[in-house]
């Protein structure tokens, strides 16, 4: 004798949110990251069920949604945060599908009394959506007890508690340093509901990423270039400041520069006409000219900036 | 009496019962949808010609959601529970560049109102002005 109020059409709920499309797109767009995708699915399912429970009145309070993404640079934390915002928005947990991405500089002031208004301003801007704090561990500097970061953390904690319906905070950073950060800020740790760890990409995944990226930019790697890319990845991984997908993007950007230079020189020498295919082809030479192959470090832009 | 509620009527919605937070949120949403920047102001001088109220914090640009502004309104209410508080919306559209909305969201419990002051001038002429009883007391102690 089910009355109307103790049954819910899960199918309709699922379809209305289009959540499957987002998850499928996530599978397509992101190479590797299997555990991350798995967690995203779990969280999405959990949120959908909670939504149903809320509608039936089994659950009274909205669940805590604050998250922590840990992983090395270039493993897709920001990209996943955007997707997560999309999922939360579709399920109605946040009102605006927007992500405000900040770092320590945006939150912490430079003199006494500067921090609180600065942090509050950022929080107000992020309200209704997701606040993504990159390299969150920089907020806490134990070596300097007068650091203003602590003040910022306290305001964040207060907001995370009092405005749970208005704001979702996602902290991101290297795993070990986030661990230290949480150890010294237990209040923060206990308010984070979901920890997601981002693994590094392996060589094959990085090559796949390189292919996807160049396709996105409407470039082709010929088979020689692909082999060169493979070697590049192996060599680059051994070097310091390797930033996973970001290093690949930078390598491709530089290969494009070299390609443009090559075509330019060819044109000057009137060697031949340039076709559309030439314009979008990256050859092995474009990649092998990288300093990584001559034992040097590639590109200053790789030097640390998450 | 033209003002049956005995309250200061300035800006929008001032002849209506006080707006609830939900109604304020809806108004803010409307303003944000138009791309206007909102700010919160307060005063304890209710004279109608007192147009420049004190600003509570900085004007809020680039906000997407009403919750941030409501948070600021509530902060202001906590700080100045017995002041007049209004929400202003500002349009930066070229050629407009002025406030587009203004409504009171907080007022003192008791508003003594205004008295009519007559000033005798040359030739037994009379000049009339209004005077808020509240402003007989110094700023901050008025309500």
Q: Which of B22, B26, B71, B74 is the best residue to mutate to test the A interface, defined by the most A CB atoms within 10 Å of its own CB?
A: B71
* B62: chain A residues, CB-CB within 8 Å: 125
Asked if A186 and A232 sit in the same domain, the reply is no
Sheet with B98-106, edge to edge strand ranges: B54-60, B37-43, B84-91, B98-106
Which pLDDT value is given to residue B2?
59
Claim to verify: residue A99 and residue A134 sit in the same structural domain: yes
pLDDT digits (tens, 9 = 90+) for A29-70: 888 889 999 999 999 989 888 888 888 888 777 888 999 999
Q: Report yes or no on A270 lying in a domain.
A: yes
Range of the domain at A138: 8-198
- Tens-digit pLDDT profile for residues A129-152: 999 999 999 998 888 878 899 999
Q: Which of B60, B64, B71 sits opposite A129 (nearest CB)?
A: B64
pLDDT score at A214 = 92
The Cβ of residue B87 has, within 10 Å, a number of other Cβ atoms equal to: 26
Among the candidates A164, A198, A232, a domain finishes at A198
Residue B140 placed within a domain: no
Selected residue with higher pLDDT from A303 and B80:
B80
* Pairwise CA distance, residues A61 & A54, whole Å: 8
Band (pLDDT 50/70/90 cuts) for residue A164 is: confident
Output the pLDDT for position A277.
85
pLDDT-derived band at A299, boundaries 50, 70, 90: low
Assess whether A191 and A221 both reside in one domain: no
- Residue A216 and residue A185 share a domain: no
For residue A165, give the chain B residue with the closest CA.
B67
Nearest residue of B to residue A159 by CA position? B71
Tell me, what's the pLDDT at B107? 93
Average pLDDT over residues A231-257: 90
A66 and A134 fall within a common domain: yes
The pLDDT of residue A103 is 93
For chain A, the average pLDDT equals 87
For A70-115, how does the pLDDT look when each residue is reduced to its tens digit (9 = 90+)?
999 889 899 999 999 999 998 889 998 999 999 999 999 999 999 9
> Does residue A209 fall inside a structural domain?
yes
Task: Note whether B69 contacts A95, CB cutoff 8 Å.
Answer: no
pLDDT surpassing 70 at residue A2: no
* Domain around B90: 21-111
**CATH code for the domain in which residue A97 is found:** 3.40.50.300
Of the candidates A197, A261, A258, the residue with the CA atom closest to the CA atom of residue A228:
A258
Residues of chain B where predicted confidence (pLDDT) is lower than 70: 1-3
What is the CATH classification number for the domain harbouring A207?
1.10.8.60
Residues of chain B with Cβ-Cβ distance to A95 below 8 Å are: 65, 67
Task: Report the C-alpha dihedral over residues A269, A272, A278, A282, rounded to 10 degrees.
Answer: -40
Can you tell me the distance from the alpha carbon of A133 to that of A153, in angstroms, rounded to the nearest whole number? 11
Task: Tell me how far apart the alpha carbons of residues A175 and A199 are, in angstroms, rounded to a whole number.
Answer: 10
CA–CA separation, B89 and B99 (whole Å): 6
HEC assignment per residue over B53-81: CEEEEEEECCCCCHHHHHHHHHHHHHHCC
- Confidence band, pLDDT 50/70/90 cuts, at residue A297: low
Task: Report CA-CA distances (Å) from B12 to A247, B1, B24, B36.
Answer: 56, 20, 12, 16
Residue A81, domain member (yes or no): yes
Tell me how close the Cα of B62 comes to any Cα of chain A, in angstroms.
6
Tell me if B3 is assigned to some domain.
no
Q: Which of A198, A219, A249 finishes a domain? A: A198
Task: Answer yes or no: is A304 within a domain.
Answer: no
What residues of chain A lie within 8 A of the CB of B57, using their CB? 117, 120
Domain's final residue, options A198, A225, A246 = A198
pLDDT single digits (tens) A176-213: 999 999 988 888 888 898 999 999 999 999 999 999 99
> Which residues on B lie below 8 Å from A98 (Cβ)?
64
Q: Are A158 and A288 members of one domain?
A: no
A214 shares a domain with A187: no
A191 and A207 in a common domain: no
Please judge whether A125 and B63 are an interchain contact, meaning their C-beta atoms are less than 8 angstroms apart.
Answer: yes
- Pairing relationship of beta strands B114-120 and B126-132 according to DSSP bridges: antiparallel
Of the candidates B57, B58, B63, which has its C-beta nearest A127's C-beta? B63
The total of structural domains in chain B comes to 1
Closest C-alpha to A140, from A190, A188, A181: A181
Counting every residue written for chain A, the total comes to 306
Residues A167/A204, Cβ–Cβ less than 8 Å = no
Neighbours of A71 (CB within 10 A): 22
The answer to whether the CB of B71 falls within 8 A of the CB of B31 is no
Number of structural domains chain A divides into: 2
Which residue, A111, A110, A118, A99, is CA-closest to A156? A118
- pLDDT over 90, % of chain A: 45
Instruction: Give the end-to-end CA distance of chain B in Å, rounded to a whole number.
Output: 23
Among all residues of chain A, which has the CA nearest to that of B62?
A125
Contact, A62 vs A93, CB < 8 A? Answer: yes
Q: How far apart are CA A107 and CA A87, in angstroms?
A: 26
Calculate Rg over the CA atoms of chain A: 23
Pairing, β A130-133 against β A220-221: unpaired
Q: Are residues A149 and A38 in the same domain?
A: yes
- Inter-chain contact B63–A96, Cβ cutoff 8 Å? no
CB distance B89 to B38 below 8 Å: yes
Cβ separation B71–A125 shorter than 8 A = no
CATH number of the domain to which B55 belongs? 3.30.190.10
Q: Are residues A288 and A236 in the same domain?
A: yes
Residue A144: what pLDDT? 82
Q: What is the pLDDT of residue A274?
A: 78
- Tell me whether residues A127 and B65 touch, CB distance under 8 A: yes
């Amino acid at each position: 004798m089910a009355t109307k109020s103790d049954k819910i059409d899960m199918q309709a709920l699922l379809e209305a949110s289009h959540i499957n499309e987002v998850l499928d797109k996530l599978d397509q767009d992101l190479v590797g990251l299997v555990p991350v995708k798995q967690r995203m699915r779990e969280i999405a399912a959990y949120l959908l069920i909670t939504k149903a429970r809320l509608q039936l009145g089994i659950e009274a309070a909205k669940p805590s949604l604050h998250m922590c993404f840990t992983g090395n640079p270039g493993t897709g934390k920001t990209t996943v945060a955007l997707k997560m915002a999309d999922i939360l928005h579709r399920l109605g947990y946040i009102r605006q599908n927007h992500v405000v991405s900040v770092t320590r500089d945006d939150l912490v002031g430079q003199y006494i009394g500067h921090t609180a208004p600065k942090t509050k301003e950022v929080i107000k801007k992020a309200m209704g959506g997701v606040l993504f704090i990159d390299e969150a561990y920089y907020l806490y500097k134990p070596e300097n007890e007068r650091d203003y970061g602590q003040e910022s953390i306290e305001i964040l904690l207060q907001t995370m508690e009092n405005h749970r319906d208005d704001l979702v905070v996602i902290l991101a950073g290297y795993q070990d340093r986030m661990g230290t950060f949480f150890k010294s800020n237990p209040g923060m740790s206990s308010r984070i509901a979901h920890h997601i760890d981002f693994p590094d990409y392996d060589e094959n995944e990085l090559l796949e990423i390189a292919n996807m990226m160049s396709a996105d930019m409407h470039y082709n790697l010929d088979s020689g270039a692909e082999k060169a890319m493979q070697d590049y990845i192996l060599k680059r991984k051994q070097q310091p400041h390797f930033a996973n997908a970001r290093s690949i993007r930078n390598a491709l950007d530089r290969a494009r520069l070299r390609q443009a230079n090559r075509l330019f020189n060819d044109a000057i020498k009137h060697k031949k006409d340039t076709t559309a295919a030439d314009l979008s082809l990256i050859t092995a030479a474009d990649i092998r000219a990288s300093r990584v192959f001559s034992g040097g470090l590639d590109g200053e832009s790789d030097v640390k900036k998450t | 009496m033209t003002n049956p509620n005995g309250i200061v009527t300035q800006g929008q919605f001032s002849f209506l019962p006080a707006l609830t937070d939900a109604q304020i949120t809806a108004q803010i949403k409307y303003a944000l949808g138009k791309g206007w920047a909102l700010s919160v102001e307060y005063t304890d001088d209710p004279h109608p010609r007192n147009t420049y109220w004190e600003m509570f914090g900085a004007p809020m640009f680039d906000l997407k959601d009403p919750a941030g502004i409501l948070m600021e309104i509530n902060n202001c209410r906590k700080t100045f529970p017995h002041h007049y508080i209004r929400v202003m919306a500002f349009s930066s559209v070229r050629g407009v560049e002025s406030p587009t909305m203004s409504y009171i969201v907080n007022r003192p419990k008791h508003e003594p109102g205004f008295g009519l002051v007559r000033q005798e001038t040359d030739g037994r002429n009379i000049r009339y002005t209004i005077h808020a009883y509240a402003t007989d007391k110094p700023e901050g102690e008025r309500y």
